[in-house]
Amino acid sequence: MAMLARIAGRVGMPAVPLYLVGGLAFGKGGLLPLVRSEGFIQTGAEIGLILLLFMLGLEYSSRELVQGLRRTWWAAALDVGLNFAPGVLAGFVLGWGPLASVLLGGVTLVSSSGVVAKMLHDLRWTARPETGLVISILIAEDLVMAVYLSLLTGALAGSSVLAAVLTGITALAAVGLTLFAGMRFDAGVSRFLFSRSDEALLLTILGLALVVAGAGEALHVSAAVGAFLAGIVLSGPAAERARDMLIPVRDLFAALFFSFIGLSTDPALLGGAIGLAVSLAAVTAGTKIATGWLAARHTGLPSGSRWRAGALLVPRAEFSLIVAGLGGAGELEPRLIPASVGYVMILAVLGPIGVRVVDHLLRRSSARRDEEAGPASR
């Protein structure tokens, strides 16, 4: 994993696709199966999933989430309509069951907040006019996924329709109460958890994430949603210091999570699913670009910002793999995880490249217009 991370940094691409390839090489049907290490890696992967969602929650305050949802609820609805439907329809066309098709819809729906955030940082686009819109859409997606994961957790557990509906209501109530508590008591929670000792604060925050995630799992709301909500509630000095201290821990266990997805995938099955992965990548890259373009047009942004907003939303990574790796997914449809792994590898690599290509073309077009306008003005 260390070598893969170095290679990714050297070529300027996300490390997630390379971790997946590493997992494929050392998993079932790979070059050197790590049978004895599988239990440890699986436990580390579960912790990585919790930390990914917890750290994502730390990025947003309750007020930002509510305000972002108010501003872009229509963009979120457009996003769900354009990007959830291709996965669901593909599942039904291939003869998959309803639950497996809905899982595939979740894989195609959500953009990668981690990859998008890294691109914005690397390209120094944080002050660009389209950045706020893109972040608002990502926030709305995260809220949608919180409820989506909760409903799926109940359905995958074999619950009845009534139990699944109750699980969804519980998830909505949990999200609502968390946002309310975050807006009313965020400073109090931060003061209660804060400690001047780095060791004490690290253990407190990490323990909070694991306990809340475990409570979510026990209530069938899912550990991922519990961790996400715990991150939202935490704010202030405790959240700022926790973010700095937890980033290395998250990176370690997140690498195990992505590698475990590869370890769990038989490369022989990946070959049979590559056609589906390529087709979905082509279709949903287009629907994401359309989502960003239409949303930016609705808010009055110029043409260049519209294309950049669309390109930024294309990459998929952590959430798509979280959905594919939900318990019981392999039993529902053996092709789901291989297709999702191939799909993420394609868009996690081509997404950032596409952003740079779009920006380059827009710059060339702008320079050409300036050159043409120069003689005319003279």
Residue 199 lies in a domain: yes
What pLDDT is attached to residue 256?
84
In this predicted structure, the answer to whether residue 86 has a pLDDT above a threshold of 90 is yes
Say if 369 falls within a structural domain.
no
Q: Which domain covers residue 333, as residue numbers?
A: 2-31+53-363
182 — pLDDT class (breaks 50, 70, 90):
low
Domain membership of residue 41 (yes or no) is no
- Total H helices, total E strands in the chain: 16, 0
Q: In the structure, what pLDDT confidence band is assigned to residue 213 with cuts at 50, 70 and 90? A: confident
pLDDT surpasses 70 at 69: no
Cα torsion 261, 263, 266, 269 to 10°: value is: 20
What pTM did the predictor assign? 0.74
Residue that wins the pLDDT comparison between 70 and 133 = 133
% pLDDT > 70, the chain = 78
Residue 242 belongs to a domain: yes
- pLDDT greater at residue 334 or residue 31: 334
44 vs 196, higher pLDDT: 44
Q: Is residue 44 part of a domain?
A: no
- Report pLDDT for 282: 95
Interhelix angle for 62-93 vs 223-233, to 10°?
A: 160
DSSP characters over 119-133:
HHHHHT-TTSHHHHH
Q: Would 376 be classed as within a structural domain?
A: no
For the stretch 250-295, pLDDT in tens is 888 888 887 887 777 777 777 778 899 999 999 999 999 999 999 9
Amino acid letter, residue 191: R
pLDDT at 90: 94
Mean pLDDT, the chain, rounded, equals 79
245: exposed, middle or buried (Cβ count in 10 Å: 0-12, 13-18, 19+): middle
What is the total count of domains within the chain? 1
Structural domain contains residue 48: no
Reported as type and span, the H/E element at residue 362 is helix 336-377
Q: Report pLDDT for 281.
A: 95
CATH number of the domain bearing residue 73: 1.20.1530.20
Residue 75 banded pLDDT, cuts 50, 70, 90: confident
Asked if residue 42 belongs to a domain, the reply is: no
CB-based contact 115:52 (threshold 8 Å): no
Tell me how crowded residue 145 is: count the other CB atoms within 10 A of its CB: 22
Each residue's pLDDT tens digit, 327-365: 555 567 888 888 888 898 889 888 888 888 998 898 888
Higher-pLDDT residue of 86 and 323 is: 86
